């Protein structure tokens, strides 16, 4: 992960590892086995490539951590003394046997949610006494609460996405007469130009397609007098951005029903941001947006949860959804993105990333939320 250049990074990683070991004791996990997914870079600064060759951090609750890594990948590992040792394996070695040897007699093992099944099956054959659970049982509640360095990284990524969204609402990104796919590619180029290392998605849904929340930008040519939902984000120094703005193309402006729909949506989004205070259960933040949209007459048209956590991954805990009674704590980072979708007609969504803080909800996106009518 390119982010690991700062000397304080080792300290941050050590603090995370200490919290993980505490949680392992509480949950009763003897060792974590971390492979693909965000847990490994979060704890080591190293991202495993999705290869047929096994990379796995063996992190025992009661001993030193070891990163088992293919020999040819080892030069990419930035070492942090005291955190873990690096154990490269050669092409003729059996990495599963090496991991099993490091696990030893430990029986309750947490394995990366995204570790390939083939490695889990081979490990289960080698370690018949072991019982297995998802590593996220231990890591996810901790990863959901961002430390200062992570919040700073999310803020930088959010500001970069904001600069692209500002271009959109100012009419600097041509829409009318271009296909959704062309606009999507343009937004992607702009995300990179503003500092993202990678574009994760750039949804552009125009006209009736704006009523499909995860519409894939396609060959439809955007016309005048349409709603266009643009939801885009990327990764910058390891951390994700994610923003949505909806614009209307054409000077005459939208029909009165769309203005009404948008006003309800804007009020719901703003109220949910304001309501995302420390101590509030996640489902209550969802409830704030849902009640306003229902009272406005569009309850059946709000067909997804209000938001998702964000960090090293685009979607992670905590989810702002009915049934999640987790109370927000300082450092929780998540989207607030209600939408209203009238099938066959049009839809709208507004999304910001917010960090829960003692001083009140800290919105990382600030681009104007009013409905922008763009003549571009
Ligand atoms: Zn989404
Ligand atoms: Zn989004
Ligand atoms: Zn989102």
Work out the angle between the directed axes of helices 117-126 and 95-103 (0-180°, nearest 10).
60
- Measured torsion, CA atoms of residues 271, 277, 280, 281, in degrees rounded to the nearest 10: 80
Q: How far apart are the CA of 22 and the centre of ligand 3, in A?
A: 31
Q: How far apart are the CA of 276 and the centre of ligand 1, in A?
A: 19
Q: How far apart are the CA of 174 and the centre of ligand 3, in A?
A: 24
pTM of the model: 0.93
- What is the maximum span of the chain, computed from C-alpha positions, in angstroms? 72
Ligand nearest to the CA of residue 308, numbered in listed order: 3
Q: How far apart are the CA of 244 and the centre of ligand 2, in A?
A: 6
Sign of CA pseudo-dihedral 356, 361, 366, 367: positive
Write the CB contacts of 253 (distance below 8 Å, at least 6 apart in sequence).
259, 373
At residue 191, the 3 state secondary structure works out as helix
Residues 223-239 have pLDDT tens digits of 999 999 999 999 999 99
Q: How far apart are the CA of 214 and the centre of ligand 1, in A?
A: 6
Mean of pLDDT values over 247-254: 88
- Per-residue DSSP letter, 77: P
Ligand nearest to the CA of residue 354, numbered in listed order: 3
Residue 3's pLDDT band, with cuts at 50, 70 and 90, is very low
Q: How far apart are the CA of 82 and the centre of ligand 3, in A?
A: 37
Q: Which residue from 220, 223, 283 is spatially nearest to 252, judged by alpha carbons?
A: 223
Residues 117-175 have pLDDT tens digits of 999 999 999 999 999 999 999 999 999 999 999 999 999 999 999 999 999 999 999 99
Domains of the chain: 7-143 (3.40.350.10), 148-374 (3.90.230.10)
Q: How far apart are the CA of 243 and the centre of ligand 3, in A?
A: 7
Choose between 256 and 4: higher pLDDT. 256
Q: 165 near 231, Cβ under 8 Å?
A: no
Q: How far apart are the CA of 197 and the centre of ligand 1, in A?
A: 20
Residue 1 has a pLDDT of 43
Mean of pLDDT values over 301-310: 98
Residue 7's pLDDT band, with cuts at 50, 70 and 90, is low
**Is the pLDDT assigned to residue 4 strictly greater than 80?**
no
Residues 104-121 have pLDDT tens digits of 999 999 999 999 999 999
Residues 332-371 have pLDDT tens digits of 999 999 999 999 999 999 999 999 999 999 999 999 999 9
Residue 32 has a pLDDT of 98
């Amino acid at each position: 992960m390119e982010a690991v250049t700062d000397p304080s990074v080792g300290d941050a990683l050590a603090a995370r590892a200490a919290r993980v070991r505490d949680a392992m004791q509480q949950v009763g996990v003897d060792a974590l086995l971390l492979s693909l997914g965000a847990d490994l870079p979060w704890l080591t600064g190293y991202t495993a490539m999705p290869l047929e060759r096994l990379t796995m951090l063996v992190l025992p609750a009661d001993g030193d951590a070891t990163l088992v890594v293919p020999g040819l990948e080892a030069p990419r590992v930035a070492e942090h003394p005291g955190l873990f040792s690096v154990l490269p394996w050669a092409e003729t070695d059996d990495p599963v046997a090496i991991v099993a040897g490091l696990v030893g007699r430990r029986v309750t093992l947490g394995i990366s949610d995204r570790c390939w099944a083939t490695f889990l099956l081979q490990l289960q054959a080698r370690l018949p006494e072991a019982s297995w659970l998802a590593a996220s049982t231990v890591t996810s509640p901790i990863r959901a609460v961002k430390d200062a360095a992570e919040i700073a990284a999310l803020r930088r990524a959010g500001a970069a996405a904001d600069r692209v969204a500002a271009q959109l609402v100012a009419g600097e990104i041509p829409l009318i007469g271009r296909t959704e796919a062309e606009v999507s590619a343009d937004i992607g180029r702009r995300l990179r130009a503003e500092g993202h290392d990678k574009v994760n998605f750039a949804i552009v849904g125009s006209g009736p397609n704006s009523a499909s929340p995860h519409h894939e930008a396609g060959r439809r040519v955007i016309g005048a007098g349409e709603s266009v939902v643009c939801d885009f984000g990327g990764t910058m120094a390891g951390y994700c951005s994610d923003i949505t703005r909806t614009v209307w193309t054409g000077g005459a402006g939208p029909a009165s029903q769309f203005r009404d729909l948008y006003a309800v949506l804007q009020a719901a989004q703003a109220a949910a941001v304001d309501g995302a205070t420390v101590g509030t259960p996640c489902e209550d933040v969802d409830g704030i947006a849902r009640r306003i949209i229902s009272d406005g007459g569009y309850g059946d048209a709000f067909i997804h949860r209000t938001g998702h956590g964000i960090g090293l991954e685009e979607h992670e805990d905590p989810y702002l959804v009915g049934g999640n009674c987790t109370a927000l704590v300082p450092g929780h980072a998540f989207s607030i993105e209600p939408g209203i979708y009238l099938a066959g007609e049009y839809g709208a969504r507004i999304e910001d990333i917010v960090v829960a803080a003692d001083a009140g909800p800290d919105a990382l996106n600030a681009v104007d939320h009013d409905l922008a009518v763009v003549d571009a």
